[in-house]
Amino acid sequence: MDLTFTKEEEEFRRRLRTWLRETLPKLPAKPPPDQWPARRAYDCAWQRALYDAGYAGLHWPTDAGGQGATPTQHLIFLEETELAGAPYVGANFVGLLHAGPTIAVEGTAEQRARWLPPILRGEEVWCQGFSEPDAGSDLASLRTRAVRDSDAYIVTGSKIWTSHAEVADWCELLVRTDASAPRHRGISWLAMPMDAPGVTVRPLRTLAGSTEFAELFLDEVRIPLSHRVGAENDGWRVTMVTLSYERGTAFVGEVVACRRTLARLARTAKENGRWDDAVLRRRLGRLNAEFGALWRLTQWNVSAAERTSPGGGSAVPGVGGSVFKLRYSEARQELYEAAAEVIGPEALDAGHPWTADRLSALSYTIAAGTSQIQQNIIAERILGLPKGR
Amino acid sequence: MEFQLNDDQRALRTGTRQLLAALFPRERLRAMVDAGGPGGAGGPGGAGRPGGAAVDGASVRELWRELGAAGFFSLRLPEERGGTGLGLPETVLVFEEAGRVLLPGPLVATHLAAGLVEGAAEGRALVTALDRPGPVEHLASADAVLLLDRATLRILRTDPGPDPDPDGDACTAVLPRALRARSVRAVDPTTPLHLVSQLPDDAGAVPGELPDAVRLRREAALLTAALQLGSALRTVEMTVAHVKARSQFGRPVGSFQAVQHLCARMFVRAEIARCSVYAASLTVTFGDVSRAKLLADTAAVRNARDCLQLHGGFGFTWDADVHPHLKRAWVRAAQWQSAAEAEEGLAEELLNEFPAGLSTGPGEVVANVEISSE
């Protein structure tokens, strides 16, 4: 066991820090969260800056256009960018963390050449068409169907809770290609252009008042067969590759962000006198323990990935991500409950910056697999308990 | 950064598990539990020996000799002094295994006393410890007490005879006169307890070449956390085995979602504690050790509670191994650093160290604190 960094890793950290110090002051102000076209432009410009500096797709394999960095270097990157207050991945989330890595692992040479470079350069934005009104956590029950018509699939159905759909160029879409097969076996993974005829996007308003996600209606959308990643009816396995990324590494930067927020919360409490409340003080102390432990768990998982894939890049995080996601999503909500205690009645002001965060944190125990689903995964796949009904 | 067990550490863990399975099988634990239970010497109908539970000096001394021979207490002594020369990370793995099998006795104190108190390294001396008024284990049968009073380390001896320890002591005093202690019938049948109401004053303490008490207390909290971690991991295993085997309504209860979810939470609690304890063994910073103790205490106590719940009526019996885990977890949670102390300290850390403390460099240097003297 070792928590120290090699000379190369320290050098990587130093170079990154220098670049961030020079680059961040030149960035324009971030547009407000409800202005999605402006947000998209901002997020893509940041991605382009990363690309030009050689930090795009850091953890992607080199043959997919990435930097082939080790998981530890990726961890350092996420830690340093967050500490420096660099922009969050934002609209590029699905491309960089879901669709891109999936295409890198499962796609053909042509597919990789077509889709990966624009993601890395911040030119094309992806969204995720997985969930349906009747298939949320029970993803395998999805019903959007694709019927073959010579060289294309004709897709009809609907998707829901699709983040960034309004500004996306592509959608990683799960469709049913064989209705008679067992439900996990008849699914395929398609790349759908968002401007294809028959695609309608209807924005949904979240409980936080924002319009960051949407409903998709697909009416006989024609998608070429060449847009299918992986074999026909093998989409479930391809999807598991994607989801294990989502649960493995997607929240690393956010743990650092939560630790920073917690420290700010403590200083605020000290200033406004709430610090004198021992009960609240002890809550903040326990949250410090929780987020510190989650950071250690992250380091543990990253090191485990590094061991299974010494060359870095293509390491696919395992079900261990469920352990992290379950506790992290709750701790993040507890953090903003504590924040509300610290700021008192101002927590009822929707304009207070922590109020928006408090509201958006409510999605964390639901998105990317609810806490209940994570517990099923841990119980059945890690602890080996008999399958429930 | 390779935050994973290396091959030597894995081998050490496997070897320790095998050693303890042979040295301290379940029957031996049960014999001690039963001796301390209803009808046993320490139970309500028993003789009510001073010190509370029925685990007497003789049985712990015998165990101590065996553990001493196996090198348990001399793990971190250099080889030229008869030890194995291992570090804290390895010691934590050994203590985790001790926690799994609920190895009784003042393990942490005797380990810390190796090299300080003659005979501790070999398991010939039984050494207990305390750092403030409160519970102290195995006091009646101890040969010496490590007294870690804030920055001061003193060693109280039952035998004030000539000091054979070549390293020298800060202070010797006669037990039990030096301590105001009252014996209680301990809730844990395998841990005799005294409650100390007041620490002896340090009159007569003389300066000596001793490690500083701040460092020793941190190590004590860390090793206690490792014991808690072992217990927390063991109760997950006990629970999973039970809910797989136990059928109700024609199905294993482990297939019920309500049961699965409790098991998943037990596992997550233990995993989070595990990463914290291992990290603290590498850095030994105040923050990491406090996090490790707080989260390992929580994991041990909560997991034992959930283990009891999921064992149903079986779990509420004396014959089940659930209650020794829960009761020992309560004792350990009260030792070295309480939840309140850890939380207050960690709250203070938020004001002091962040965001600089976010970075995970090598462990901070623990300040050298002077040994108090007259």
Averaged confidence pLDDT in chain B: 85
Measured between alpha carbons, how far is A382 from A183 in angstroms, rounded to an integer? 23
For A67-86, the DSSP string reads ----HHHHHHHHHHHHHTTP
- Give the phi and the psi of residue B144 in degrees, each rounded to 5: -155, 155
Which residues in chain B have Cβ-Cβ distances shorter than 8 Å to A259? 354-355, 358
For the whole model, what pTM was predicted? 0.90
- Tell me the average pLDDT across A213-226: 97
Whole-angstrom distance, CA of residue B308 vs CA of residue B243: 12
Interface of A with B in 93-132 (CB under 8 A): none
Distance from CA of B172 to the nearest CA of A (A): 38
Coil, strand or helix at A165: helix
Q: Which residues of chain B neighbour A284 with C-beta distances below 8 Å?
A: 346-347, 350
pLDDT above 90: residue A125: yes
Q: Which of B6, B273, B348 minimises the CB distance to A1?
A: B6
A/B interface, count of CB pairs below 8 Å:
190
Q: A267 and B351: CB-CB below 8 Å?
A: yes
For residue A241, what pLDDT band results from cuts at 50, 70 and 90? confident
pLDDT at A101 exceeding the cut of 60:
yes
- Residues B232-257 as b/e (b if ≥16 CB within 10 A, e otherwise) read bbbbbebbbebbbeeeeeeebbbbbe
Q: How far apart are CA A202 and CA A204, in angstroms?
A: 6
B105–chain A nearest CA distance, Å: 28
The C-alpha atoms of residue A224 and residue A222 are separated, in whole angstroms, by: 7
Query: Which two three-digit tokens encode residue B72?
Result: 């348990």
Q: How far is CA B17 from CA A123, A154, A344, B231, B299, in A?
A: 55, 60, 52, 13, 21
> How far, in Å, are A28, A243, A247, B26 from residue A311 at the CA level?
37, 22, 21, 44
Contact A267 B256 (CB under 8 A): no
Residues of B within 8 A of A289 (CB-CB) are 276, 290-291, 294-295, 342-343, 346
* Selected residue with higher pLDDT from B154 and A331: A331
The answer to whether the CB of B88 falls within 8 A of the CB of B222 is yes
Q: Please give the DSSP secondary-structure letter assigned to residue A225.
A: G
Mean pLDDT of A224-229: 98
Where do we find the tokens 């809770």? A161
- Contact A296/B265, CB-based, under 8 Å? no
**Chain B residues closer than 8 Å to A382 by CB:** 267
Chain A residues 261-280 with a CB less than 8 Å from chain B: 262-263, 265-267, 270, 278
CB B76 within 8 A of CB B91: yes
| Torsion over CA: B248, B251, B257, B261 (sign) | positive
Scan for tokens 């938020």, then name that residue.
B350
B285/chain A closest Cα distance in angstroms:
12
A293 vs B273: CB contact, 8 Å cut-off?
A: yes
Which tokens in the block code for residue A296? 């250690």
**What is the pairing mode between strands B144-149 and B127-130?**
parallel
Q: Quick one: pLDDT at residue A367?
A: 87
Note the pLDDT of residue B202: 66
Q: Do A3 and B3 touch (CB under 8 A)?
A: yes
pLDDT digits (tens, 9 = 90+) for A262-312: 999 999 999 999 999 999 999 999 999 999 999 999 999 888 877 775 444
Residues of A that are catalytic: 246
The residue whose two tokens read 């409950």 is A337
What is the pLDDT at residue B151?
78
Assigned token pair, B32: 């001690």
What is the bridge-based pairing of β-strands B247-248 and B144-149? unpaired
- Give the C-alpha separation, A30 to A17, whole Å: 21
Q: B196-253 pLDDT, tens per residue? A: 888 877 655 555 556 688 899 999 999 999 999 999 999 999 999 999 999 999 999 9
Q: How far apart are CA B104 and CA B111, in angstroms?
A: 13
Of B257, B263, B291, the CB nearest to A383: B263
Report the C-alpha gap between A197 and A210 in whole angstroms: 27
Instruction: Tokens 């929707």: give the residue.
Output: A350
What value of ipTM does the predicted structure carry? 0.91
Distances (CA, A) of A113 to A24, A330, B303: 30, 39, 50
Instruction: Give yes or no for A260 touching B (CB within 8 A).
Output: yes
Residues 331-360 (A) with a CB less than 8 A from some CB of B: none
CA-based R_g, chain B, Å: 21
Q: Nearest 5°: phi and psi at B104? A: -85, 170
Token pair belonging to A288: 């410090």
Those residues whose C-beta lies under 8 Å from the C-beta of residue A162, and which sit 6 or more positions away, are A127, A128, A129, A131, A171, A213, A214, A215, A216
Degrees, nearest 5: CA angle B170-B175-B179 = 90
What pLDDT, in 10s, does the model give residues A247-258? Answer: 556 677 888 889
Walk along chain B (374 residues) and give the pLDDT tens digit of each residue. 889 999 999 999 999 999 999 999 999 999 999 987 665 544 443 344 444 445 667 889 999 999 999 999 999 999 999 899 999 999 999 999 999 999 999 999 999 999 999 999 999 999 999 998 999 999 988 999 998 887 788 888 876 554 444 444 433 444 556 677 888 889 999 999 999 888 877 655 555 556 688 899 999 999 999 999 999 999 999 999 999 999 999 999 999 999 999 999 999 999 999 999 999 999 999 999 999 999 999 999 999 999 999 999 999 999 999 999 999 999 999 999 999 999 999 999 999 865 443 433 333 323 222 232 22
Report CB contact under 8 Å: B268, A388. Answer: no
CA distance A115 to chain B (A): 33
